[in-house]
Amino acid sequence: MIKKLLLLAAILLPFAVYYISMLIAKKGTERKLPIIPLSLVSVLLLAAVLIFFRLGDQDPSDGKYTPPQFKDGKIISPKTQ
Protein backbone atom coordinates (compact mmCIF):
# COMPACT_ATOMS: atom_id res chain seq x y z
CA MET A 1 0.00 0.00 0.00
CA ILE A 2 2.83 2.37 0.88
CA LYS A 3 4.43 1.81 -2.52
CA LYS A 4 1.19 2.84 -4.23
CA LEU A 5 1.01 5.99 -2.12
CA LEU A 6 4.62 6.85 -2.90
CA LEU A 7 4.00 6.34 -6.60
CA LEU A 8 0.89 8.52 -6.46
CA ALA A 9 2.83 11.21 -4.56
CA ALA A 10 5.66 11.04 -7.09
CA ILE A 11 3.16 11.68 -9.87
CA LEU A 12 1.13 14.44 -8.17
CA LEU A 13 3.84 16.25 -6.18
CA PRO A 14 5.46 18.06 -9.15
CA PHE A 15 2.07 19.49 -10.14
CA ALA A 16 1.43 20.66 -6.57
CA VAL A 17 4.88 22.28 -6.33
CA TYR A 18 4.32 24.03 -9.67
CA TYR A 19 0.90 25.31 -8.57
CA ILE A 20 2.26 26.61 -5.26
CA SER A 21 5.25 28.25 -6.95
CA MET A 22 2.92 30.01 -9.40
CA LEU A 23 0.84 31.29 -6.48
CA ILE A 24 4.01 32.62 -4.86
CA ALA A 25 5.09 34.27 -8.11
CA LYS A 26 1.72 36.00 -8.58
CA LYS A 27 1.66 37.48 -5.06
CA GLY A 28 4.72 39.61 -5.53
CA THR A 29 6.44 40.33 -8.80
CA GLU A 30 9.55 41.62 -7.00
CA ARG A 31 10.02 38.31 -5.16
CA LYS A 32 12.17 35.63 -6.72
CA LEU A 33 11.14 32.00 -6.84
CA PRO A 34 13.11 29.78 -4.44
CA ILE A 35 14.61 27.67 -7.22
CA ILE A 36 17.63 26.35 -5.30
CA PRO A 37 15.72 25.26 -2.14
CA LEU A 38 12.99 23.64 -4.25
CA SER A 39 15.62 21.81 -6.30
CA LEU A 40 17.37 20.56 -3.18
CA VAL A 41 14.09 19.35 -1.69
CA SER A 42 13.21 17.50 -4.90
CA VAL A 43 16.64 15.82 -5.01
CA LEU A 44 16.29 14.77 -1.37
CA LEU A 45 12.80 13.37 -2.00
CA LEU A 46 14.07 11.46 -5.03
CA ALA A 47 16.95 10.00 -3.01
CA ALA A 48 14.59 9.01 -0.18
CA VAL A 49 12.22 7.22 -2.55
CA LEU A 50 15.06 5.40 -4.32
CA ILE A 51 16.54 4.27 -1.00
CA PHE A 52 13.11 3.14 0.22
CA PHE A 53 12.48 1.04 -2.88
CA ARG A 54 15.98 -0.44 -2.73
CA LEU A 55 15.74 -1.44 0.93
CA GLY A 56 12.07 -2.45 0.74
CA ASP A 57 12.60 -5.08 -1.95
CA GLN A 58 11.29 -8.49 -0.87
CA ASP A 59 12.66 -10.58 -3.74
CA PRO A 60 15.60 -12.81 -2.95
CA SER A 61 18.50 -11.57 -5.03
CA ASP A 62 20.39 -14.86 -4.86
CA GLY A 63 17.51 -16.99 -6.18
CA LYS A 64 17.34 -18.65 -9.58
CA TYR A 65 14.87 -17.00 -11.95
CA THR A 66 12.91 -19.20 -14.35
CA PRO A 67 11.28 -17.14 -17.12
CA PRO A 68 7.73 -17.86 -18.33
CA GLN A 69 7.54 -20.82 -20.67
CA PHE A 70 5.08 -22.09 -23.24
CA LYS A 71 4.50 -25.86 -22.86
CA ASP A 72 1.66 -27.98 -24.22
CA GLY A 73 -0.40 -24.96 -25.22
CA LYS A 74 -0.22 -23.38 -21.75
CA ILE A 75 1.87 -20.59 -20.33
CA ILE A 76 3.82 -21.56 -17.21
CA SER A 77 4.29 -18.63 -14.80
CA PRO A 78 7.78 -17.31 -14.01
CA LYS A 79 9.32 -18.42 -10.73
CA THR A 80 12.12 -17.38 -8.40
CA GLN A 81 13.60 -20.27 -6.47
Q: Calculate mean pLDDT across residues 33-52.
A: 78
Arithmetic mean of pLDDT over the chain:
79
Please tell me the total count of domains within the chain: 1
| Of 10, 5, 20, nearest in space to 42 by CA | 10
Ranges assigned E (strand) in 1-81: 65-66, 69-71, 74-76, 79-80
Q: Which residue has the higher pLDDT, 78 or 81?
A: 78
Residue range(s) defining the domain that contains residue 17: 2-80
The model's pLDDT over 7-29, given as tens digits with 9 standing for 90+, comes to 788 778 877 887 887 787 776 66
- Look at residue 44 and tell me whether its pLDDT is greater than 70: yes
> Any residues with CB less than 8 A from the CB of 23 and at least 6 apart, and which?
none
The answer to pTM > 0.75 is no
DSSP lists the bridge partners of residue 75 as 70
